[in-house]
Amino acid sequence: MQMEGFFQKDIRFQFSREEGLLYKTIRDRGRNYFKENGIAKTANRWFVIKVYILFVLAAAGFTAVLHTQGILNLFGGYCMLGFSLMLLGINVGHDAAHHALTGNRKIDDNLFRIVFGLQGMSGYVWQLRHNYSHHILPNVEQEDTDLEMGKIIVLEHGSETAWYHKYQHIYAPFLYGIAGMVMLLFKDLEMLLRKKHGNLTLDKIPTIEYFKFTLAKLSHLSIFIILPLLYHPDAWKEVLLAYAMMQILVSIFMVFTFVISHHVMEVARAEVHFGTEVENSWVKHQITTTIDFDGESKIANFLFGGFNLHVAHHLFPEVCHIHYPQLTTIIKDTLQEFGHGDWYQSYSFWEGCRSHLRYLKEVGTGGDTSFAFE
């Protein structure tokens, strides 16, 4: 299928009348929740307060970077700035990419680009990969773009492995520490120039996207490096060191936040049979390839922008994450009612990190797990 400058491989899920009714019931109950309570599925005042807090923290961090001296003060300012912008990306950018913030696609697209741009990332290809590959085919081998970690770390069973992959569960956290810089300096450009992305083939990148790509890089470099160096010309080593230390911490936190929702021992994986069909129904696949973490924690719900309640996100991607706790209750209750309560799984953030490393070890050593969810 071709639309909006890219081709999407035609892959279908198996039909199940009972599981189709399950999905319809979940969606209907979700819609009724908003209708009966007279609330919109977009952002509310609590979301605005959260965004305001994060912007204030980012501004405070930037001010500290410019007007404090010493490596510890610079590092503290950089951490406040870096983590605040990263959390804005998770909370604002991710929802905006799904047009779930304001209900206005143009406004949401602009918010998404701005927030991602402040972190030095071009959002165009990421949005295509995320919305039209990962969300449709999570954990489908060879098709889900989120399985494309690179050659040094492999996430797919059956991938070609080298001797060092048996140790990837050991060295992965160290590589995750430089993932942000790799994305900023190399990977982002590589994705923009590459044609094949999982189940997607890019047709033509609009010329304006190359301008936006350059603007995003210049914006990040100006905020994080150029302006601090102008304010601290005699302490350039401390500035660069503090920036690098912040990047490592933010990057590790960001990568683990992303991977523990799908790339762990507890979730299902799938293959495409005969080149066109996934073995499960769409709703079963979405739920059993996704896992929540710390769903009862108010702190986690504040920080992670819905990544911790990821099942609700995959079933209601057009809804702002501020509503995910209520939708998760609806999902769990409906699954129990239909006799599929075991599909839903959750754990803590730290359990997810450990499970991800175990999964890396299994894949790297050639271990085999069942592709089907039992």
- Averaged pLDDT, 82-106: 94
Domain assignment present for 374: no
What is the token pair recorded at 247? 């990047």
Total count of domains within the chain = 1
- Summarize pLDDT for 10-41 with one digit per residue, the tens: 888 988 999 999 999 999 999 999 999 999 99
Which structural domain range is residue 258 located in? Answer: 2-364
Q: Rounded to whole angstroms, how far apart are CA atoms 246 and 80? A: 9
Domain assignment present for 369: no
Domain assignment present for 132: yes
Percent of the chain with pLDDT over 70: 96
CA 344 to chain centre: 20
Q: What is the pLDDT of residue 58?
A: 96
CA 188 to chain centre: 15
Q: What is the pLDDT of residue 369?
A: 44
pTM, full prediction: 0.92
Between 61 and 2, the higher pLDDT residue? 61
Domain assignment present for 161: yes
Q: Rounded to whole angstroms, how far apart are CA atoms 8 and 5? A: 10
Q: Rounded to whole angstroms, how far apart are CA atoms 254 and 347? A: 18
Q: What is the pLDDT of residue 274?
A: 57
- Summarize pLDDT for 156-198 with one digit per residue, the tens: 887 888 999 999 999 999 999 999 999 999 999 999 899 999 8
Instruction: Kindly tell me if the per-residue pLDDT of 341 is higher than 90.
Output: yes
Domain assignment present for 371: no
Q: What is the DSSP letter of 59?
A: H
Confidence class for position 373, pLDDT limits 50, 70, 90: very low
Between 271 and 126, the higher pLDDT residue? 126
Q: Which residues contact 18 (CB under 8 A, 6 or more apart)?
A: 338
Domain assignment present for 23: yes
Q: Rounded to whole angstroms, how far apart are CA atoms 191 and 211? A: 15
Confidence class for position 371, pLDDT limits 50, 70, 90: very low
Closest CA to 90 of 246, 258, 314, 317: 258
Confidence class for position 130, pLDDT limits 50, 70, 90: very high
Confidence class for position 370, pLDDT limits 50, 70, 90: very low
Domain assignment present for 373: no
Q: What is the pLDDT of residue 336?
A: 98
Query: Which helix (H) or strand (E) is 200 found in, with range?
Result: strand 200-202
Instruction: Kindly tell me if the per-residue pLDDT of 127 is higher than 50.
Output: yes
Domain assignment present for 370: no
Instruction: Kindly tell me if the per-residue pLDDT of 56 is higher than 50.
Output: yes
- Summarize pLDDT for 231-266 with one digit per residue, the tens: 999 999 999 999 999 999 999 999 999 999 999 999
How high is the mean pLDDT of the chain? Answer: 91
Between 171 and 150, the higher pLDDT residue? 171
Residue 280 φ then ψ, to 5°: -115, 170
Confidence class for position 367, pLDDT limits 50, 70, 90: low
